[in-house]
A and B are shown apart, each in its own frame.
Chain A
Amino acid sequence: MTALSPVPATGRSAATRWVVRGVVAVALVAFAIWAKSRIDGLDTSTQATNPIIRWEWLFLRERTPDELREMTIQHLQLTVIPMAIGITIATGLTLVARKLRWSLTPITVVTSFLYTIPSFALFGILRTLTTNFQAAVIALTSYSLLVLVRNFVAGLDGVPGHVLDAADGLGMGPLRRLITVEIPLALPVIFTGIRVATVTIVGLVAVSSIIQLGGLGSLIFEGYKVLFSTKIVVGTVLSILLATLLDLLLDWVGRLLTPWARRKAEP
């Protein structure tokens, strides 16, 4: 699935999902057992000269857990804050695009343009105008908008016309129809957009390390500066883990909010 596709991931069957979860679980357990055996065998005097991971840095260095926690929290902040602002702005833009159909094209053009600016450049430019943190939040928010707006609009457009006709015919006002019919029915596509945008932002946060932020990305950045591969690997793995966990969490919340979407007609 491409990052811009406004189609919800309903193609995967429940069976496939459980197989994937099973494989991930087995892999995690295997990794834990292997890591444990390595830790038990750790001996500072018998380290290989230049391994990919120096386990003693990860497990024996006293400051490592605190540093990782701090970086993870910053990474989460730099994901959740831009996403929250992005969802708010995208909601506004979507409502404008619905009311004034002609405005959809300029909205799409502007958000696409923001999406195409190289992230390195955008962080750098915004840095000259405001604080590091605000610059990062603004840049990351702007990257979320295209995916969010497209999915929000597609979600609302996907509500079947006959359902809207019935809602009007029963005597629902436009606002009530939007809140009680259109938004609930658009939720699966809306959530797909939020998930795709979130995973994208988690990845992009790392780039903000060029302006002394970056969450787990700053770990990767340091690793490059001093050619210490352990930091690069740990930063990457934790970043991927964070993206996966947020994706699963949003998927779960989305399913919780749309119980009707799972039930299928009885044969």
Chain B
Amino acid sequence: MTAVAIDLRGVTKTFPGSTAPAVAPLDLSIEEGAITVLIGPSGCGKTTTLRMINRLIEPTDGTIAIGGTDIREQSVTELRRGIGYVIQQVGLFPHRTIAQNIGAVPRLLRWDKARTTDRVRELAELVGLEPNMLERYPSELSGGQQQRVGVARALAADPPVLLMDEPFGAVDPIVRGRLQRELLDLQERVRKTIVLVTHDIDEAITLGDKVAILNVGGVLEQHAAPDDLLANPANEFVESFLGAERSLRRLTLSTVADLVLSPGPVIDITASVTEARAALEAHGTEWLGLISNGNFTGWAWGSDLDDAVDLASIEVRRTVATITPQSTLREALELILNARSEVAIVLEDDHRYLGAVTIESIRRTLA
């Protein structure tokens, strides 16, 4: 099934017995086939908003449309069977085996046995569960394994939309990191419209294609891609919510390919020794990288030039701080801080020279 967009228009929720709305009139367009993260302090109505999408909570006012169709046009149970739902405590059925848990929605949809069995096996493989776990009960699985089962169960009927309420909140940080990476891998393959609620800003930045920051009472403060959010917070609330480590967080989001690379202290080996000395002077370094036909061959100290007739005859040194265009700026910075040269050489396919990264070039990009 192809992914669909979700549209919230003027969605309001006021709980009985309370005067202030939990969610103020909220307009939010959730992109199809992408992960949208809802985040904010407690009381911001992020979970309420999520639960209004599958009508576990009925909005007081406003409309929600999935793929252009108002969610009230279907029966509640039909609607929910077409939306994947994953919660923090997983909520697996303790009295059902893992296979029966994963096959819960197909069973509700009256699929025949063979089709359900095939689908259960397929999903177990997709989320990385051993086939021998299928006949066990949930209590026999670890927290991380249970959460994988929860995701598999949500995906069973191949719904276009997946709602996840703090899905990784109950597992330890190491397992959480692994499950986050697995979700991103999974999303590469299934391309669902995912709405995910979290209170962890790092998780929001890691997982979100878009992040919607909500303030108390369901007020949407900013809805943007994570890098945009970190670079241009809309207001003081967003800025304080993102925290003091805004720049450091951006380092993990941007890659070297996003940088304007400096040419770096390099010279083509066809140049003369005199030109090489001039280049050393110009870059103010004690060493020079050598390029042959666009490939980085190595580097040499300034003193290596003294006895050289031409650059091609110099015996180049190999060890050098190199990275790829796909490396994050955080990795680049790490490398630069540990390299005496204070630059990282960017190579494509392990040899083609693209340029050099300096602390200054990273700073300019984040500024």
Q: Does A254 contact B (CB under 8 A)?
A: no
What 0/1 readout, one digit per residue, does chain A (240-267) give for beta carbons within 8 Å of chain B? 0000000000000000001011011110
Q: Are B137 and A263 in contact (CB under 8 A)?
A: yes
B85 within 8 A of A: yes
Contact between B56 and A263, CB atoms less than 8 A apart? no
CB-CB under 8 A from A261, the residues of chain B are 95
Is A185 an interface residue, CB under 8 A from the partner? yes
Which B residues from 9 to 66 make CB contacts under 8 A with A? Answer: 54, 56
Cβ contact within 8 Å between A166 and B87: yes
B81 in the interface, Cβ–Cβ < 8 Å? Answer: yes
A11 at the interface (CB under 8 A from B): no
Instruction: Encode A203-235 as 1/0 by CB contact (under 8 A) with B.
Output: 000000000000000000000000000000000
Known: A162-B87, A260-B94. A169 touches B137 (CB 8 A): no
Q: Of the listed stretches B72-80, B116-124, B194-202, name the one at the interface; the rest are far from the partner chain.
A: B72-80
Instruction: Please encode chain B, from 136 to 155, with 1 for each CB lying within 8 Å of some chain A CB and 0 for all others.
Output: 11011110000000100100
The complex places the Cα of A164 from the Cα of B85 at a distance, in Å, of 13
In the complex, the answer to whether A168 meets B56 with C-beta atoms within 8 Å is: yes
Q: How far is the CB of B100 from chain A (nearest CB, A)?
A: 10
Which residues in window 65-109 of B have CB below 8 A to A? Answer: 76-83, 85, 87-96, 104-105, 108
Give the interface size bracket for B toward A. 20 to 34
Known contacts A166-B85, A260-B139, A185 near B77 by CB under 8 Å: no
| 19 more A-B residue pairs beyond the given contacts A160-B89, A166-B150, A260-B95, with a C-beta to C-beta distance below 8 A | A160-B91, A162-B87, A162-B88, A163-B94, A165-B87, A166-B91, A168-B80, A169-B87, A170-B105, A170-B108, A170-B153, A171-B78, A171-B105, A171-B108, A172-B77, A181-B95, A184-B95, A185-B95, A260-B94
28 A-B pairs within 8 Å (CB atoms) are namely A160-B89, A162-B88, A163-B92, A163-B93, A163-B94, A165-B87, A165-B91, A166-B87, A166-B90, A169-B54, A169-B85, A169-B91, A170-B81, A170-B105, A171-B77, A171-B78, A171-B105, A172-B108, A173-B77, A181-B93, A185-B93, A260-B94, A260-B96, A261-B95, A263-B136, A263-B137, A264-B140, A265-B139
User: Interface of B with A (CB < 8 Å)?
Assistant: 54, 56, 76-83, 85, 87-96, 104-105, 108, 136-137, 139-142, 150, 153, 163
